[in-house]
Structure 1
C-alpha cells in the first residue's frame, strides 16, 4: 500500500477523512502545513504516490494504476472519504471518482483538467538524474549542481525536497527512470468515461493555463455537479503560492 502521513483530528471528528494526492515529483510531506490546518475537525491523510517518496516502486505510472493505489488507501478507512488531488494526483483522483464513485463523498481537483496536455516534464527528471550524488553532501551543493540544468530557484527547491541527504550517498526519493519512461501517460489522459454525481470543486490558479475555458464542457460532462473557483495571484502551484486562500476555499467547499 502507499506510504501515508496521517494527521489525526485535533478536535472532535465532524467529517470524513480527507485524502490528499500530490502531483508529479512531489510527496505527501509537501502538504504538511495545509494538512495539519485542515485536521482541526477531521483526519487528514497525505499519501506518497507510487514511485514517489516512501511508497513502493512500480514499473508503471498510469492513471488506472494510481487510482487503484488510492482506492486501496481509502478502503482502509470507512468510505466514502473526501479526496483532494493536485495536478497528477488530481487526474488520478478524477479517474477514481469516475470508476469508483462509491468511495468519494466530495472531490477537489487542484489545477488540472481531464484532458491530455502537450507539455513534457521529462527534462526535469533528466536534470535530477544527471546529478552525481556521490559528490553531493549538502542541499546547497545539490542546488548549485541542479542550477546548471534548471534556472527557476523555486522549482529547484521543490525538487530538492525529494533528495534524501541522510542516505549515504544521497538518493532521490523518486523513481526517475520510470517517471521519464511513463511521461506520455502522466501528461496524457486515458479517456476515462462515466459521471461522478457528487459535489466536485475544480480549484485553479488565476494565473495558470492548465484549466482553460474550453475544458469546462468536458469537465461538466464527467462531473455534472462541478463548481469552479480561482485563487487570485496564483499559478499551477496554487497551494504553495497562496496556502491560506487555498486552505480556506477547500474548507468552505468540504464543509458546505
Structure 2
C-alpha cells in the first residue's frame, strides 16, 4: 500500500466522534443529580468501553486526546510524513512494547497494509509486555484482532479474564436501580449503581480484591455457550446476566435470582453468592 493511501486510512480515524469518552460515567454527578443517575442505565457508549467493544479507529481517536505521542504521529501523517510517523511509532514500540499508543498505531498501519500477521505480531509483543496487568486493554486488543479475522488458539480463547454482571436492585421497594459490576482477573473491579460509580475512584481494598478474584475464578468454571454478540437489552425483574470475557469473545449466561437463591445445588448458585458478596463489599463505604 502506498504511503498516501496509508495516510488517508489512518487519518480517517480522526472522523470518529468523541461521544465515547464524553459518556464515561466516572465523573461525580452534579449536585441533586445522584438519585436520578442511580435509576438510569449506563449509556450504550459507556457500556461499549466497559465490554471492550471499541473499534480500533475509535480507540485511536481516544488516544489522540490522551497520548501526546499518538497525536504527534497523526499530525505527521496529516503532513504527509508517513515514513517518519512509522519510524517514531516503531521506535517507541521497540523500546516499550507495552505502549498502548504505539501498539494501536502500528496494528492499524499493519491492517491498512493488509498485513494481518504483522498486526498480530505487534499485539503479541504487547501481550508479553503487560501480562494480565491491563485486562481491559488485553480484551480490547483481541476485539481488534477478531474484527480482522485473527483469532486466538483454543486454550487462549477460552481463558476467562473477566466477568461483567448486570442485575437490578429493588432497594426499599422503590424503582429498580440497574447494577453493573465489572470484575477482572487482575483483581480490579468497577461497580455502577445506575450511572454512579461506587466508590467514585479506584478501589484497592484487599477484601474487595480477594472477592473479585474469587468471582472471576468461579466464572471460569461455569459451563458456558460459545462466544456470541453481547446482549444490549437491559435486564428486567430478577434476571441476572453474566458476560464472561475471554480473548475468544464474550459468552453470556443468565439466571433467575428467585430460582437460584437458596438452592445450593444449582450450578450457578456459587456465582450468585460471590457476586452479591462483591457488590456488598464494593458498597461498604456507603454505610461509613
Q: TM-score scaled by structure 2?
A: 0.27
Larger radius of gyration: 2
Structure number with higher helix proportion: 2
Q: TM-score scaled by structure 1?
A: 0.29
